[in-house]
Amino acid sequence: MKFLDVKTDFAFKKVFGSIGSKDILISFLNSVIEFDNKQKITDLTIVDPYSIPLLKGMKDTYVDVKAELSDKSRVIIEMQVLNHEGFEKRILYNAAKNYSIQLKKGDAYHLLNPVIALTITDFTLFDNSPELINNFKLLEKKQFIEYSDDIELIFIELPKFIKTEEELETIQDKWIYFIKNAGDLNYIPDNLEQELEKAFNVANEAGLSEEELELQHKKKDWIYIQKSSIELATKTGLQQGLEQGLEQGLEQGLQQGEFNAKTKMVLNARQIGLPIPTISELTGLSEDEIALVLQNK
């Protein structure tokens, strides 16, 4: 067996955003979203279901899965494999946009329904947080009073998930393991819930059309090229920085060594009783610099 790399936008939307993926998406969302009232999602509608023509030519844009829950709340799920400038602002903007477009001209504000933006990243976004899942809401800074729960941002950082197949305990573990590792597996793991088995079957390349396979392979190649370009640019920048740093360090070292030598000359000259003007002529230091050396000896 060979499975799609679910971290690509095409595969992610096929698995979680197809017409028949409702039960898959409900199971996944219930495993990673904690509602304040401890309730679970029982029903949802997938907005803009997966369709190949919608993805054609998508080289550098992102694809998200949108769902409307039974209570009219909206969830936007996005898989992001490459970090880029303004990424965090785009996530916030996208959530705010989906919140605001609910109202038509003249509608009352109380008709607005909550929006949850769930973003899965294949890179570490919050270096200062050890948490695999980070949740953000509007809170008062000092007392942490919740202003509103109408917009919630949830981030799952795949690099922080390091459990092996044998260490999987919860359904949340299994879903995140599936997203992170499906593309590297050649079998369906044992003891999976029905929805997870179904997700593996949807991701099975054997069931894809030639058009879908070609699209997946092109997308994986494009991501590989982009990651390689970033790595090359990073290495080049580090090398240039190292060379520049060595050059600056050598120059600074020489300057420091020269100053240390002159400092020693000043101390020796004063020890044998030479006057400061004479020491200045010998060392090239000003009388103020010599005074400072003698003060700090």
Report whether 89 contacts 125 (CB < 8 A).
no
| Three-state SS at 119 | strand
pLDDT tens for 231-256 read 555 566 556 655 665 556 545 555 55
| First-to-last C-alpha distance (Å) of the chain | 76
Predicted pLDDT of residue 235: 63
In terms of average pLDDT, the best of 35-39, 41-45, 49-53 is 41-45
Predicted pLDDT of residue 63: 61
Signed CA dihedral, 170, 175, 179, 185: sign only: positive
Which 8-state DSSP code applies to residue 232?
A: H
Residue 118 predicted with pLDDT over 90: yes
> Of 153, 137, 134, which is closest to residue 145 (Cα–Cα)?
137
Report whether 135 contacts 191 (CB < 8 A).
no
Residue carrying the six token digits 């803009």: 48
Which 8-state DSSP code applies to residue 231?
A: H
Which residues lie below 8 Å from residue 13, measured CB to CB, with a gap of 6+? 50, 55, 63, 64, 65
Q: Can you count the helices (H) and strands (E) in the chain?
A: 9, 6
Of 83 and 187, the structure prediction assigns the larger pLDDT to 187
- Provide the H-helix boundaries in 101-209: 171-181, 194-203
To the nearest whole percent, how much of the chain has pLDDT over 70? 77
Domain boundaries, the chain: 9-208
* Dihedral angle computed from the Cα positions of residues 227, 232, 233 and 239, in that order, rounded to the nearest 10 degrees: 150
To the nearest whole percent, how much of the chain has pLDDT over 90? 39
Amino acid at 56: K
Predicted pLDDT of residue 220: 67
Residue carrying the six token digits 């409702």: 22
